[in-house]
Amino acid sequence: MSGAGSIYDLGYQRYEGRRLGRAYAFRSLYLHGLAAAFGIGRSTRSKVVPIGLFVIALVPAIIELGVTALAGDVVRPVRLDNYFSLVGTVMLLFCAAVAPELMGRDQRNHVLSLYFSRALERRDYAVARFAALLTAMLLIALVPEVVLYLGTALVRSDPVGYLFDHLDQPGPIVASALVISLQVSGVALAIAAMTPRRAYATGGIVAFWFIADGLGSLIASVSQASTTLSASELAWTHYGVLLSPSLVGDGAVRWFFGTGGDAIIQQVNLPGWWYVVVALAYAGVGLAVVLRRYARIAA
Amino acid sequence: MTAHPLWSQAPVPAEVAGAPLAAVHVARWYGNVVAVNDITFGVGAGVTGLLGPNGAGKSTLLHMLAGLLAPSSGQVLVEGRPAGRDPAIYRRIGLSPERDASYGFLTGREFALLSARLARLPAPDAAAHRALEMVDMEAAADRQIGGYSKGMRQRVKLAAALVHDPPILLLDEPFNGMDPRQRLHMMTLLQRMAGEGRVILFSSHILEEVERLAQQVLVMVAGRLAAAGDYRAIRRLMTDRPHTFTLHTSDDRAMAARLVVEEPVLAVQLANGGLDVRAADYGSFTRLVARVSVAAGVSLYELRPTDETLESVFSYLVGQ
Amino acid sequence: MGRDGVLRQLIVLTARQALGRRRVLVALLAACVPVLVAIIYRLAGGQDAQAWTSNLLDNVVITTLLPLVALIFGTSVLGGEIEDGTIVYLLVRPVARWEIVLAKLAVGAVATAVVVGASAAIAVAISLPSSLSPGTVVAALTGVAWGALIYAAIAVALSVVTGHALIIGLVYVYIWEGVVAGLFTGTRLLSVHQYVLGVMSTLDPTQPSLLPAHLPLSSSVELGAVVAVGAAVVAAWRLSRFEMSDQP
């Protein structure tokens, strides 16, 4: 045997290839959140609630189209503008089911440190989760509306003509869906971010919505029945409407579509764009809460 | 109970069927994943260690033995009756689960008392007090469990398992989080209880614990029972692995020269002030050592098998 | 130690556990809403108290508050133990599974009835003082108690079957009872809301009653009992086949 031998180091090797960076990490987290919202990539059981609720949201549209196709344009209980009140509950329940999954799972399993030790900033995580929930909500808000809009056109003899006549519809549809989705996502995510326990988050979201709704609508409706308040005090109770997320959402949608709204909204007679601003404020405050929580959370 | 087509033909040994705690062709699968794979054994009085790496299926097996999980196939028998049907068997079994779940708002004493009352004992206060004393938690018993250290929570869990004085104890990783002094105290306690005729089965992935405490072991690897019995006896059954011995004699070199030509001896090495010998067969080597030393006129001071440890048994079984 | 001793111990344990959780705060906050709103209504000198109070009771208390609180408490009493893993300490005892379910259900139902009942009674007393008869209050409380029992039983059963008990319960309440039962009158037979209304309305001595009802007392009691007992049986049966897993 000749000469010198060699020992080859087959151990730890550094990765010298391309690293895709922060934007890619953000995009991956966003897509993962979106899939997780619908239970994709997990067991069938975790798909039941989100997809079930999505189907329930579609049902009024489909029934409406069926009725129109069979009985003609007689009565339209389900229209583009009141659709959101109908599916508002579904959207809330969807958020109450999904937001705790998005935020609580990583907190429960203590894996946040794994995320934060990557190219991802803490706020990127929060924003990516928000974007994922928002996208899911937009799907639930938009798809039934679009189905209703296009379906109504298709059941007529002249679909294209109908669409041209109603070119003013898509704008309000998109705007309403966006505002509603932002509002409910912000509220749900903020509450879900505060606790790792799923049941607390779900219960908290529904309870918050209920409490705010109850307070808001009943404060506002006091003015309808009151005799002891002066005119200026009555005006103050009108602002109570803004406490109720459902009424705020409804007001915003009506303003976009230019139609009258719920009895209370009409009675209170606040400028329509206020509702939009308040809805966006809900979203903004919610996002701020989430950002702050994740800036300070122990990882 | 469903019978698996391939396994049920194997006969059940008599000592298994009659044992106080028995598993008969027990298997458990989750979809495609088999957690416990056709295990048959019987456990009698004394301390038995269930040893295996993490993920081997020890907890799954213990939960089935405790009647908290139904086997996918096979049967678990507690004192001859199938487990998991009737809550009355819990008068005869005490379980200390692995998971660190506790009623944080209760004090240790309240938890022991709760366990005693739920066990329908006629004198729950006395039983709780006795159980807390046995695990050395009397002093801290009036503090909330939420404020306990891990070792204290483990001990209170044990107290709850012991409170009704059950003849069968199932302990899942009981020494988790205990410091050496607590561990020694527990081991002494368990040995004493086993001596009184109790059946104690505990699981662990730490060899030293099992080696120190268990009289019999059950070795689980990847859901299967790799070996059962006294680990020294198991070692001797591992005939395809040479045994190692250490000898101290009055003339090591002469001994080495004589031994190396003998048939069962594979290798001899002078080391550590003695002789390290590797031999193929335990029995024949121990017999020939005496003969060789007499023939060589060498005095034999010490003959000790060096790899009759649970570690060597275990690493052999895991590596199979 | 006798059967009732065991039951009592379980009840005490559950009560201490349930009261210590933060969920209770959420339920209590929600229960303040009817009271607050009634106070505001009175301060504002509201008119047409009958209609307003009827609206409050039906649409706020019975439709939303009662099921929500019952679900919060009902999923917490048993589901909370399952999530925490402490259920094992109850399962490894010679205690019948139905005893465990009964104790948990009792605590959940009573807590719900007390919280919601107090809220409803106070709110009604504030908004309807002159025309209020004690009989009406008693009828309202009985209805609330009945609803509390049934909703809590459903919640307990759901929490043994699935980890998503709260959200599924909410879907049932808001979608099924809120929307479907409103649209299709036949489904009223399957709506706990209607059972509650039936009891309240029929027992109310002042007629016409404060609340509209579509089911007679007999149906409300019989169907409600079927649902409650059925749910409890399901819970006990599933608990006896409960499988411990290592993951929460």
Taking only the tens place, the pLDDT of each residue in C58-92 is: 877 888 899 999 999 999 899 888 888 899 999 99
Q: Which is more confident, C131 or A2?
A: C131
Q: Are B221 and B52 in contact (CB under 8 A)?
A: yes
pLDDT at C241 over 60: yes
Q: For B166, what's the count of Cα atoms within 13 Å in the CB-facing half-sphere?
A: 34
Tell me the nearest-neighbour CA distance from B120 into chain C, angstroms: 5
Does A214 sit within 8 Å of C175, measured CB to CB? no
CB of C227 within 8 Å of any CB in chain A? Answer: no
Cα–Cα distance for residue pair A199/A192, rounded to 1 Å: 10
CA-to-CA dists, residue C235 to A196, B277, C221, C229, angstroms: 26, 65, 21, 10
Does C36 sit within 8 Å of A210, measured CB to CB? no
Residues of C within 8 A of B59 (CB-CB) are 246
Token couple for A81: 């503008």
Chains A and C contact (Cβ–Cβ under 8 Å for 3 or more pairs) = yes
Does A199 sit within 8 Å of C80, measured CB to CB? yes
Does A206 sit within 8 Å of C47, measured CB to CB? no
Cα–Cα distance for residue pair B178/B207, rounded to 1 Å: 16
pLDDT of residue B212: 87
Reduced to 3 states (helix: H, G, I; strand: E, B; else coil), residue B200 is strand
Question: CB-based burial of residue C238 (10 Å sphere; 0-12 exposed, 13-18 middle, 19+ buried)?
Answer: middle
pLDDT of residue B109: 95
CB of A82 within 8 Å of any CB in chain C? Answer: no
Kindly state the DSSP code that residue C191 receives in the 8-state scheme.
-
Q: Are B66 and B21 in contact (CB under 8 A)?
A: no
Does B99 sit within 8 Å of C85, measured CB to CB? yes
pLDDT of residue B12: 66
Does C171 sit within 8 Å of A211, measured CB to CB? no
Q: Are A244 and A270 in contact (CB under 8 A)?
A: no
Sequence-distant (6+) residues with CB within 8 A of A133 are: A33, A37, A95, A98, A99, A102, A185, A188, A189
- SS3 sequence of chain A: CCCCCCCCCCCCCCCCCCCCHHHHHHHHHHHHHHHHHCCCCCCCHHHHHHHHHHHHHHHHHHHHHHHHHHHCCCCCCCCCCCHHHHHHHHHHHHHHHHHHHHHHHHHHCCCHHHHHCCCCCHHHHHHHHHHHHHHHHHHHHHHHHHHHHHHHHHCCCCHHHHHHHCCCCHHHHHHHHHHHHHHHHHHHHHHHHHCCCHHHHHHHHHHHHHHHHHHHHHHHHHHHHECCCCHHHHHHHHHHHHHCHHHHHHHHHHHHHCCCCCHHHHHHCCCHHHHHHHHHHHHHHHHHHHHHHHHHCCC
Phi/psi-derived region of residue B74, left when phi > 0, alpha when psi is between -120 and 50, beta in every other case: left
CA-to-CA dists, residue B205 to A298, B56, B313, angstroms: 31, 10, 14
Does C26 sit within 8 Å of A202, measured CB to CB? no
Reduced to 3 states (helix: H, G, I; strand: E, B; else coil), residue B33 is strand
Cα–Cα distance for residue pair B219/A31, rounded to 1 Å: 44
**B63 closest CB neighbour out of C9, C20, C244:** C244
Phi/psi-derived region of residue B249, left when phi > 0, alpha when psi is between -120 and 50, beta in every other case: beta
Q: For A65, what's the count of Cα atoms within 13 Å in the CB-facing half-sphere?
A: 17
Name all chains with 3 or more CB-CB pairs below 8 Å to chain A: C
Q: Are C120 and C144 in contact (CB under 8 A)?
A: yes
pLDDT tens-digit profile of C185-229?
777 788 888 888 888 888 877 766 667 778 888 888 999 999 999
Token couple for B32: 């495609």
Tell me the nearest-neighbour CA distance from B78 into chain C, angstroms: 14
CB of A89 within 8 Å of any CB in chain C? Answer: yes
Tell me the nearest-neighbour CA distance from B154 into chain C, angstroms: 13
Tell me the nearest-neighbour CA distance from A273 into chain C, angstroms: 27
Give the DSSP H/E element, type plus range, for residue B215: none
Q: At what angle do helices A198-225 and A170-194 cross, to 10 degrees?
A: 120
pLDDT of residue A3: 44
In this structure, the number of other CB atoms found within 10 A of the CB of residue B232 comes to 12
Does C71 sit within 8 Å of A203, measured CB to CB? yes
Tell me the nearest-neighbour CA distance from C89 into chain A, angstroms: 22
Sequence-distant (6+) residues with CB within 8 A of A250 are: A84, A85, A88, A261, A262, A265, A275
Q: Which is more confident, A181 or C50?
A: A181
Question: How many B×C Cβ pairs under 8 Å?
Answer: 78
Cα–Cα distance for residue pair B122/B168, rounded to 1 Å: 20
Does C60 sit within 8 Å of A49, measured CB to CB? no
Is the whole-model pTM more than 0.95? Answer: no
Single-letter amino acid, residue B22: A
Q: Are A126 and A294 in contact (CB under 8 A)?
A: yes
Number of H helices, E strands in chain B: 11, 14
Cα–Cα distance for residue pair B167/C107, rounded to 1 Å: 34
pLDDT of residue A213: 85
Does C26 sit within 8 Å of A203, measured CB to CB? yes
Does C170 sit within 8 Å of A96, measured CB to CB? yes
Q: Are B78 and B42 in contact (CB under 8 A)?
A: no
**C47 closest CB neighbour out of A45, A199, A227:** A227
Chain A residues 161-220 within an 8 A CB cutoff of chain C: 197-200, 202-204, 206-207, 210-211, 214-215, 218-219
DSSP code per residue over B230-281: -HHHHHHH-TTS-EEEEEEES-HHHHHHHHHTSSSEEEEEEETTEEEEEES-
Cα–Cα distance for residue pair A246/B223, rounded to 1 Å: 54
Cα–Cα distance for residue pair A256/B272, rounded to 1 Å: 91
Pick the closest to residue C178 from A246, A69, A67, B320 (CA basis). A246
Tell me the nearest-neighbour CA distance from B315 into chain C, angstroms: 26
Tell me the nearest-neighbour CA distance from A280 into chain C, angstroms: 25
Tens digit of pLDDT at every position of chain A (299 positions): 444 565 566 667 778 888 888 888 899 999 999 998 998 887 777 888 899 899 988 888 888 888 877 776 666 666 777 788 778 888 999 999 999 989 988 888 888 888 888 888 888 899 999 999 999 999 998 898 888 888 888 877 777 777 777 777 788 888 889 999 999 999 999 999 988 888 888 988 998 998 888 778 777 766 665 666 666 677 777 777 888 888 888 888 888 887 766 666 776 677 878 889 999 999 999 999 999 998 888 76
- Tell me the average confidence (pLDDT) per consecutive run of 10 residues in chain B, 320 residues long: 46 73 91 88 92 86 91 90 86 93 92 94 94 93 92 94 95 91 92 93 87 88 85 73 86 89 89 86 86 89 83 75
Which of A54, A87, A102, A202 to mutate to probe the C interface, most C CBs <10 Å?
A: A202
pLDDT of residue C107: 95
The ipTM, to two decimals, is: 0.86
**A211 closest CB neighbour out of C23, C33, C46:** C33
Residues of B within 8 A of C10 (CB-CB) are 118
CA-to-CA dists, residue C9 to B96, B107, B123, C95, angstroms: 21, 15, 15, 11
Kindly state the DSSP code that residue B102 receives in the 8-state scheme.
-
Tell me the nearest-neighbour CA distance from C2 into chain A, angstroms: 35
**C168 closest CB neighbour out of A49, A215, A225:** A49
Kindly state the DSSP code that residue C188 receives in the 8-state scheme.
G
pLDDT of residue C111: 94
Does C93 sit within 8 Å of B87, measured CB to CB? yes
Q: Facing residues of B41 across strands?
A: B23
Q: Facing residues of B204 across strands?
A: B51
Residue C243, φ and ψ in degrees, nearest 5:
-115, 125
pLDDT of residue C202: 84
Residues of B within 8 A of C1 (CB-CB) are 117, 120-122, 124
Sequence-distant (6+) residues with CB within 8 A of A74 are: none
In this structure, the number of other CB atoms found within 10 A of the CB of residue C119 comes to 25
Kindly state the DSSP code that residue B139 receives in the 8-state scheme.
T
**A211 closest CB neighbour out of C29, C45, C166:** C29
Phi/psi-derived region of residue C45, left when phi > 0, alpha when psi is between -120 and 50, beta in every other case: left
Chain centroid to Cα B55, Å, comes to 16
**A210 closest CB neighbour out of C46, C68, C164:** C68
Question: CB-based burial of residue A23 (10 Å sphere; 0-12 exposed, 13-18 middle, 19+ buried)?
Answer: exposed
pLDDT tens-digit profile of C4-27?
788 889 999 999 888 777 778 888
pLDDT tens-digit profile of B71-97?
999 989 999 888 877 889 999 999 999
Question: How many A×C Cβ pairs under 8 Å?
Answer: 102
Reduced to 3 states (helix: H, G, I; strand: E, B; else coil), residue C215 is coil
The average pLDDT across C139-168 equals 92
